[in-house]
Amino acid sequence: MSNSMNLNINEVSKIVKLFNKYIDNNPEKYVKHKFRYNDSIIKIYSTNKLLVQGKNSEETFDEISKILNRSISIEITKTNLLLTGNIIGTDEVGTGDVFGGIFVCACYVNKKQIPELSKFGLKDSKKLKDSDILALAPILKEKLSYTIIYLDNNKYNNVLKNFNLNKIKAIMHDEAIKKITKEITNYDYIVIDGFTSSSNYFKYLEDYDPVKNVELIEKAEDKYYAVAAASIIARYHLILNFKKLSKDYNYDLPKGAGKQVDNMIDIIIKDRKSKILNDISKLNFKNFHNKNTN
**Better-predicted residue by pLDDT, 215 or 2:** 215
CB neighbour list of residue 144: distance below 8 Å, 6 or more residues apart: 107, 108, 109, 113, 229, 233
Window from 184-193, 233-242, 247-256 with minimum mean pLDDT: 184-193
- How much is the average pLDDT of 273-288? 95
Q: What is the pLDDT of residues 224-243, one digit of tens each?
A: 889 999 999 999 999 999 99
- What's the Rg (C-alpha) of the chain? 21
Instruction: Give the single-character DSSP code of 150.
Output: E
Q: What percent of the chain has pLDDT over 70?
A: 92
Residues in the chain: 294
**Partners of 41 in the beta sheet?**
36, 53
**Please, is 186 exposed, middle or buried when counting C-beta atoms within 10 Å of its C-beta (0-12, 13-18, 19+)?**
exposed
Per DSSP bridges, beta strands 145-151 and 49-54 are: unpaired
**Partners of 206 in the beta sheet?**
none
- How much is the average pLDDT of 193-198? 91
Q: What is the pLDDT of residues 47-102, one digit of tens each?
A: 888 888 887 787 888 888 888 876 544 443 444 456 568 999 999 999 999 999 99
Tally Cβ neighbours within 10 Å of residue 79: 17
- What amino acid occupies position 40? S
Rounded Cα distance, 158 and 138, in Å = 32
Mapped onto helix, strand or coil, the DSSP state of residue 287 is: helix
Element (H, E) at 47: none
pLDDT at 248: 97
Task: Identify each DSSP E strand in the chain by its residue range.
Answer: 2-6, 31-37, 40-45, 49-54, 87-93, 102-109, 145-151, 189-193, 214-217
Predicted confidence (pLDDT) at residue 264 exceeds the cutoff of 90? yes
pLDDT at 55: 78
Which residue ranges form the domains of the chain, and what is each CATH number?
2-67 (3.30.310.10), 87-243 (3.30.420.10)
Per residue, the 3-state secondary structure of 151-187, as one string, reads ECHHHHHHHCCCCCHHHHHHHHHHHHHHHHHCCCCCC
Q: Are 105 and 209 in contact (CB under 8 A)?
A: no
Rounded Cα distance, 107 and 180, in Å = 8
pLDDT at 77: 41
Nearest alpha-carbon partner for 120 in 142, 105, 96: 142
Q: What is the pLDDT of residues 1-56, one digit of tens each?
A: 567 778 888 899 999 999 999 999 887 888 899 999 988 999 998 888 888 888 77
Rounded Cα distance, 35 and 128, in Å = 26
- Could you report how far apart the first and last alpha carbons of the chain are, in Å? 33
pLDDT at 182: 96
- How much is the average pLDDT of 264-271? 95
pLDDT at 104: 98
Rounded Cα distance, 175 and 155, in Å = 16
Q: Are 125 and 229 in contact (CB under 8 A)?
A: no
| pTM (predicted TM-score) | 0.73
Look over the chain and give the mean of its residue pLDDT values, rounded to a whole number. Answer: 88
Tally Cβ neighbours within 10 Å of residue 93: 25
